[in-house]
Amino acid sequence: MAKKINVGALISGGGTNLQAIIDACLSNSIDANIIFTGSDNPGVKGLERAQKADIETFVVDYSQIIQSCKKGIKETDLPEDFNLEEIQSKQQLVAGDVSKEQIAFFLKSRAVAERKLLDIMLAYDMDLLVLAGFMRVLTPYFIDRINTESGIYKIMNIHPALLPSFPGTDGYGDTFRYGCKVGGCTVHFIDYGEDTGPIIGQKAFEIKDDDTLDDIKKKGLVKEWELYPQCIQKFADSLI
Ligand code: GAR
């Protein structure tokens, strides 16, 4: 049997992509094992899916952390190795029309949450982290602590559009509203921007004139469930 890579997963919701990856691992159609599933959102179906497959789960409740940061962030709340200037100079998530204070709050509050994720995740021997419907952006603070070897990407994301078109939080909605005749999904590596990292794979589908947004989402998800395991296998092939 081929050596298997260790994959960590982060989710925010229903976890149908997670399920597709779990199924591909269990049926040995990819050389991978999921070693944990974390969520920023308690009580979501994806956590149940992981537990059913005997995968360890955890929650870092982003909403609660951000709420508590709004009451004030003390120096001691921040990770010891947090350097605002460095992270500010690397980040490409927040545009120039946002005030310096807002950018600083964003980066600090996310780093508080990201440190909690890292404290749990770094205890595992992980080859790859997959974002499977994880609806939080990751800042350079987190990315640099996963991508520790220069030029080697270790975080993958699935996006519901054919990047570089329609980055952001509503890929299928944006595809639908634009009136596209073709939609699709993309698996890419995470870099410092929003949905800008190197593309690993894409799949497209036709949009008929009478397709609703719901039809597009359904067609898209079927493609996602095929694409994500294939891209994980591509990564495994590059390591094994
Ligand atoms: C999927 O459509 C995925 O592409 C999208 O969220 C959905 C999660 O579904 N991800 C993003 O929009 C990331 N920005 P799932 O929880 O059933 O896998």
Domains in the chain with CATH codes? 5-238 (3.40.50.170)
Q: Is the CB of 13 under 6 A from ligand 1?
A: yes
158 Cβ inside 6 Å of ligand 1: yes
User: Please, what is the end-to-end C-alpha distance for the chain in angstroms?
Assistant: 12
Of the residues 115, 159, 188, 203, only one is catalytic, namely 159
Residue-level pLDDT at 93:
86
- The pLDDT value recorded for residue 240 is 64
Among 16, 194, 213, 223, which residue has the most ligand 1 atoms within 8 Å of its CB, making it the best to mutate? 16
- Give the whole-angstrom CA distance, residue 46 versus residue 159: 17
Told to judge if 188 belongs to the known catalytic residues of this protein, a careful annotator would answer no
**What tens-digit pLDDT sequence spans the chain (240 residues)?**
579 999 999 999 999 999 999 999 999 999 999 999 999 999 999 999 999 999 999 999 999 999 999 999 999 999 999 999 999 999 998 876 888 899 999 999 999 999 999 999 999 999 999 999 999 999 999 999 999 999 999 999 999 999 999 999 999 999 999 999 999 999 999 999 999 999 999 999 999 999 999 999 999 999 999 999 999 999 999 986
Instruction: Identify the residue whose C-alpha is closest to ligand 1 atom 5.
Output: 133
Closest CA to 165 of 151, 181, 149: 181
Model pLDDT, residue 95:
74
36 and 53 in contact (C-beta within 8 Å)? Answer: no
- The pTM of the full predicted model, rounded to 2 decimals, is 0.96
The predicted pLDDT at position 239 comes to: 86
The answer to whether residues 219 and 175 touch, using CB atoms and an 8 Å cutoff, is no
pLDDT attached to residue 1: 59
Can you tell me which atom of ligand 1 is nearest the CA of 19? Answer: 18
